[in-house]
Amino acid sequence: CYVRGNSKDHSIGPLPNVVQHFVDQGKVILVLGRMHLNKSTAMKRIKENAFVFLVDNLSKDDPFLLYAALASGNDAKFVSLDLMREHICLIDDTTVRKLFHRWQLSHQYLFSIDRNTKRFELQEPKKYQFNAQMT
């Protein structure tokens, strides 16, 4: 599980609720973020329910996220609003780029937050591939 917090107010948004969602499912959770997350009072509860790995506030955390998700096996999933476009465009090999994108679609949870109720909704990774067929 991975969610970026807001570095200005040290808000971690829906992270505690997202972690609890996966705790309720009996999942093993890794929260990956930046050091400023430690300033939130909710981090104590998160650390009781998840492994936590924090990088320096100035560090790029996406490579850590991608490595952790890939190294954790095919059943591992990750939560992020980041669509990783910056990383996908760095892959020169077209076949590898397509493979990465397919892997991403089948392993990434996206989420949205209702502005009125402040509730979050998880969008599960795709279970099927979407391919246009040509004849």
Higher pLDDT, 71 or 60: 71
Return mean pLDDT, the chain: 85
Q: Is the pLDDT of residue 7 over 50?
A: no
Give bridge partners of residue 34 from the DSSP assignment.
55
- Confidence bin at 109 (pLDDT 50/70/90): very high
Cα–Cα dist 63/46, whole Å? 22
Q: What is the dihedral of CA 118, 57, 86, 131, to 10 degrees?
A: -40
* Reported pTM: 0.79
Cα–Cα dist 40/11, whole Å? 7
Q: What domains can be seen in the chain, in order of their start residue?
A: 2-123 (3.40.50.11980)
Give the containing element (helix H, strand E) for 109.
strand 108-113
Residue 55, exposed/middle/buried by CB under 10 A (0-12, 13-18, 19+)?
Answer: middle
Over residues 15-66, the pLDDT tens digits come to: 998 999 999 999 999 999 889 999 999 999 999 999 999 998 877 888 899 9
Q: Minimum mean pLDDT among 30-39, 95-104, 105-114, 115-124: which range?
A: 115-124
